[in-house]
Amino acid sequence: MGKRLLIIGGVAAGPKAAAKARRCDPEMEIVIYQEEDEISYAGCGLPYFISGIVKKRDELISRTPGRFAQDGIKVRKNHLVEMIDVKNRTISGRRIGSGEAFSDHFDRLVIATGAQPIKPKIEGLHLENVFYLRSIFDADTLVEKARPNRVRNVVIAGGGYIGLEMAEAFIRLGKKVKIVELAPQILTLFDNDFAGILRQYLEKKGVEIYTSEGIDAIRGEDGKVTHVRTSARELEADMVLMSLGIRPQVDLARKAGLRIGETGAIWVNERMETSVEGIYAAGDCAETTHLITGKRVWIPLGSTANKQGRVVGINVCGGDATFPGVMGTTIFKAFDFNVAKTGLSMREAEKEGFQPIQAIVKGYGRAHYYPEGKESILKLVADQNSGRILGGQAIGEGPSDKFIDIIAMALHGKMTCWELANVDLAYAPPYSPVLSPVIVAANVIMNKVEGRVKGIRVEEVKEKLSTSKETFQVLDVREEEEVKKNRILGSIWIPLWKLEKHLGELDKKKEIAVHCASGVRSYEACLKLQYKGFENVKNIDGGMLCWCDDRGPKGEIIP
């Protein structure tokens, strides 16, 4: 008789492990225990089903129990596993609905219990029309409740990936959407400048966003939600979506005495094996290693869960596959914006002890003269000392995914800016500019590392404008028609082509921060100023692209 493999959890990592194990060992007994009534569905597709982009619910189901049965894999739906007996190699629990007890024995065990929504202690969470989105059944309920016209005002608690994807879904359904985020910015895994770009875009799409505000209470009448009270205001609400993040489901593992890692998820080695031999964990319940920092991390993503499940499927059959770790590569859609990230942000790199520098450039998916080209703004992060690439972010209607995938490969190869700048990427006008924006960004980083020009971040400029006006000046080198649209309050305006004739308007004793629309012309201006003897000159990273602030009555930007 072959070995008996039990899998607890049937959404992503669990089914992947089962399928791979079956291919590796045709005779192994495999049983999946799943608490829900569905198995192997695309959790990442739920917002698109709710919005109506995905028309049919069945399109989200990757594999049915019947399809698993054809491969000799048994699926036990509506079975809640409540205990793992490590010594006797058994699991036990009860059937949902009937309450009937069950038990089973294993030679190998996979824990793929996933994650669960964070549920804070807030008054009013029990009210009708307060929802979470974690399972396909949550999506079913939201489809039923949100599509009718009686729901008009929706408040989303949390400005992370799911909250932002659901903002689009509700807008598509004709709702008025408000996002409440406790942090100073939405999209907290990104740098503030790129989060600001997305915020401006979402607000133009009709999404109201309130940051640095927590939800104090949810109010209702006749048992149904009517208002959300934050620390600063009261918002009308017919529906509330709680999207404050998730935490790994580890209670089962903890009760069994398995080691819980420093991240709060289940500790596993590179083979995805837990602290007990023959018991594995994968997906959103397991921690892993960050490939840049070498530290233990918990970054729950569907792509990671499937890769880990595959490794587990090999190893439960006696193989020796490894999962080396992650860099947090992710992408999501916000209306027509493609928002992507890999590796470390500037803030994260500083926290990890690097001396990070950044390049921010406009990135087009085609040559500038080829029709229908679309733009993304690209940020490349590197270490000042070594030139090693540390991360990247991209946002816009252009090919953010392409840019981030290139950078992710550079991170895997531990490439420096010099190496990345010379990568042989494909070029033809319908597909790319003659120099990929990734290569352009690598060249900017190279210039900074080699000392040709110094950069300064937008947030540093804002701070110095408010605290160091006597020793600091901002130079705007854009054209007149650009300046008429918006201008940083208190800046000196000299178009680039007039700069050499108007050097006397600048104080050589002061620090000069130069900007244009995106950083190209201001870089040229910095070189000219340095050549003329100006020693303390810096290029504002990203220029006006990243200056996301309120405008005054004449378009002036208030720092």
* C-beta separation of 173 from 147 below 8 A: yes
Give the count of beta carbons closer than 10 Å to the beta carbon of residue 548. Answer: 19
In the annotation, is 526 catalytic? no
Q: Nearest-CA neighbor of 529 among 446, 441, 445, 454?
A: 454
* C-beta separation of 9 from 113 below 8 A: yes
Calpha distance 207→87 (Å, rounded): 54
Instruction: Please work out, in degrees rounded to the nearest 5, the angle formed at the alpha carbon of residue 349 by the alpha carbons of 346 and 351.
Output: 110
**Backbone angle region of 71, left / alpha / beta, with phi > 0 → left and psi within -120 to 50 → alpha:** alpha
Q: What is the full DSSP assignment across 290-329?
A: BTTT--EE----HHHHHHHHHHHHHHTTT-------B---
Q: What does the block give as tokens for 540? A: 């504002």
Q: How far is CA 427 from CA 235, 411, 423, 446, in A?
A: 50, 22, 12, 22
* C-beta separation of 16 from 313 below 8 A: yes
Q: How far is CA 102 from CA 4, 7, 91, 224, in A?
A: 17, 15, 8, 38
Contacting residues for 350 by C-beta, under 8 A, at least 6 apart: 356
The one catalytic residue in 44, 285, 317, 546 is 44
Q: Nearest-CA neighbor of 331 among 473, 198, 202, 213?
A: 198
Give the largest CA-CA distance in the chain.
89
Tell me the backbone φ, ψ of residue 84, rounded to 5 degrees. -115, 120
Catalytic residue positions, numbered = 44
